[in-house]
Amino acid sequence: MQDARYVIITPVRDEEKYIEATISSVKGQTMRPVEWVIVDDGSSDRTSMILDAAAAEAPWIRIVHRADRGFRKAGGGVVEAFYDGYSALQSDDWEFIVKLDGDLSFSGDYFERCFDRFCRDPRLGIGGGVICHDVDGEMKIEPNPGFHVRGATKIYRRACWEAIGGLWRAPGWDTIDEVQANRFGWTTQGFNDCRLLHHRLTGSADGAVRDRVKHGVACYISRYHLLFVMSSCLYRLVKKPYVIGSAAMFYGFLKGHFSDLPRVKDKQYVRYMHAQQLRRLCGLQSIWK
């Protein structure tokens, strides 16, 4: 798909260590975006200066500067920043929209190969490469269900984007979108042969335990079945940070419940989500495989 028209939105906050690698990766693409909006979400380091310098060199890069809220707002904050970028888009004839983090690097043909996958599967609604980490000099793929595309790198086909109504503005958004897409008959998939290097370990910005709490809250908001949450907690007992990680995840789920946080209310979505998770627990075919 050599002529795919796509736009990228990148929310960033305090990414002076890594944003130049991401800028270099996008600039080096064999298929460049029509427009790239980078949203500086109140950075206190040199991120803003780096972004402004990049935009001065490339007219298809545009910067949106947000005021510093004073803290990193997990989950919902990145979607708020994303939508500021979305509102600032000048191009309206795009076929794909990409949500891309500012701490990634990838090969020059990354987007060309991703869009080739979309071209070959007209029902593919959400896709993207798999996240890798450099562990002692070896590229390790971050494990995820086959239907899940990490929030750091998501490509949405426009028809799918419009069908799901965009992104839920709260933690759990990067699962809600995929469940909705599958419910509406689209497929979602991470591409194992399209890899991105994530320069920061997942959850490291908040700390491992806080990240597990955040994940538990996201499970509550996105309406995970209680049995599925409990099974996930048991599964994570043997993964770092072991028992405390599982406890933190369940605490996050309970925190969402007792804090009465807003959650998805679409009954058909909830019915589909629970059916898929119960099928997975019973060893039957599901989007969780």
> For the chain, what are the domain ranges?
6-198, 208-281
- Rounded to the nearest integer, the mean pLDDT of the chain is 92
Rounded to an integer, the average pLDDT of 233-255 is 91
| Pairing, β 96-100 against β 138-141 | unpaired
In the predicted structure, residue 73 carries a pLDDT above the cut 70: no
Q: What pLDDT sits at residue 204?
A: 47
Q: How far, in Å, CA of 62 to CA of 38, rounded?
A: 6
Q: What pLDDT sits at residue 289?
A: 80
Residue 208: closest CA among 237, 253, 254, 242: 242
Q: How many CB atoms lie within 10 A of CB 144?
A: 12
In the predicted structure, residue 202 carries a pLDDT above the cut 80: no
Q: In the structure encoding, which two tokens stand for residue 153, read together?
A: 């790198």
CATH superfamily of 6-198: Spore Coat Polysaccharide Biosynthesis Protein SpsA; Chain A (3.90.550.10)
The set of residues, in sequence order, having a beta carbon less than 8 Å from that of 133 and lying 6+ positions away, is: 139, 140, 142, 197, 198, 201
Q: How many residues are recorded in the chain? A: 289
Rounded to an integer, the average pLDDT of 162-187 is 96
Q: What pLDDT sits at residue 135?
A: 82
14-34 residue pLDDT tens: 999 999 999 999 999 999 999
In the predicted structure, residue 69 carries a pLDDT above the cut 90: no
CB 20 within 8 A of CB 50: yes
Q: What pLDDT sits at residue 110?
A: 97
Query: Can you give the pTM of this predicted structure?
Result: 0.93
Secondary structure element (H or E) that encloses residue 229, with its range? helix 226-235
Q: What pLDDT sits at residue 1?
A: 59
CB 212 within 8 A of CB 115: no
